Amino acid sequence: MNIKKLLFQNKNFKPWYYLKAELREKFAANLVHKRDLLLQCLSRYDASEIQQRVDYYNKLSGPAALLNGRVRIADYHRPNHLKVYYYDSKEYLRYFEGDLEFQLLPGDVVQIPASPSIVKSRPIAGDNANSVLLNLDKVRHFNFIKDHVPFRRKLNKLIGRAAVQQEHRKAFYELYFDHPLCDLGDIMKGSKWEKPKISITEHLKYKFILAIEGNDVATNLKWIMSSNSIAVMPKPTYETWFMEGTLLPNVHYIEIKADYSDLEERLNYYIAQPEKAEEIVRNANAYCQKFQDQTKEDLIAVMVLAKYFEATNLSDV
């Protein structure tokens, strides 16, 4: 296979992402005058569905003061690190007036902030209203693929490749690394489970793909659910723009217990009943489809931020 094709097949092309981001910086510094034009696109869609998603990402219901760490949009400049968080937030912040203030927490956010903050990820449980979701670090996390291998032609095994650093991942590998239904590998050098990385295309040879959370969400969940394989995981505890908290067990993915004890039973069940497995594949694919209309995603993101600025009483928007 062509080396370039192997490297980039089924993956977002990062150089193109950075080029587009730099072009926006140079030629689309402020889009306030175009915000109303974008909002007019709402008429193309089911307004109740759009509002439901906006209210899911942004659960603020009243005035809420910003604390230390707030910054004016006009003073928001590209940092030397975590540039993707800057690019992905500035893509939509540029639709608003420069004197508006906001707070953004980059990285894997697993705690609820003390005041309303824009984040990539948040805990699903509890009062998470101060965690306002935006699609951040999307070049890494939001990757949907085309899978041409039907479920029934795939191997009757669970494939898993990951950096096995967290205790809950180590616990899974301790239980199943040598299991005949599993092909597991730790991509970390020196690990007792060390195996080399494999491409997404190689993963797609298997019926089942492990999607255990890392520091926050499982990064591979989006592309798995857009494939003809099935994600296998416990009930998620963190969520992103993908709304992992709305996923239904054994409808969108195969759920296993938090202690992983029923893995063999669950895999054998779906191996023996492929029609039920294929129903999960169809449901997962349909779920992914709703995130693939870029105009709709842009519209929702701007509406999430408009609600954020209104709730934080910074200015009329």
Confidence of residue 9 (pLDDT cuts 50, 70, 90): low
Lowest mean pLDDT among 80-89, 227-236, 242-251, 265-274: 80-89
pLDDT at 149 over 90: yes
Q: Residue 297: its pLDDT value, please?
A: 97
Q: Residue 151: its pLDDT value, please?
A: 98
pLDDT at 317 over 70: no
Percentage of the chain beyond pLDDT 90 is: 81
Q: Residue 16: its pLDDT value, please?
A: 78
Q: Residue 3: its pLDDT value, please?
A: 41
Tell me: the pLDDT tens digits for 251-288?
999 999 999 999 999 999 999 999 999 999 999 999 99
Distance CA 181, CA 293 (A): 37
Q: Residue 260: its pLDDT value, please?
A: 98
Confidence of residue 69 (pLDDT cuts 50, 70, 90): confident
Domain ranges of the chain: 3-142+294-311, 151-289
Mean pLDDT of 15-42: 83
Task: Identify the architecture of domain 151-289 in CATH.
Answer: 3-Layer(aba) Sandwich (3.40)
Confidence of residue 4 (pLDDT cuts 50, 70, 90): very low
Q: Do strands 117-119 and 101-102 pair parallel, antiparallel, or not at all (unpaired)? A: unpaired
Mean pLDDT of 292-296: 95
Q: Residue 5: its pLDDT value, please?
A: 46
Greater confidence (9 vs 12) lies with: 12
Greater confidence (107 vs 170) lies with: 170
Prediction pTM value: 0.92
pLDDT at 2 over 60: no
Confidence of residue 87 (pLDDT cuts 50, 70, 90): very high
pLDDT at 104 over 90: yes
Q: Residue 313: its pLDDT value, please?
A: 66
pLDDT at 315 over 80: no
Greater confidence (4 vs 49) lies with: 49
Mean pLDDT across the chain: 92
pLDDT at 310 over 80: yes
Lowest mean pLDDT among 24-33, 43-52, 77-86, 173-182: 24-33
pLDDT at 13 over 90: no
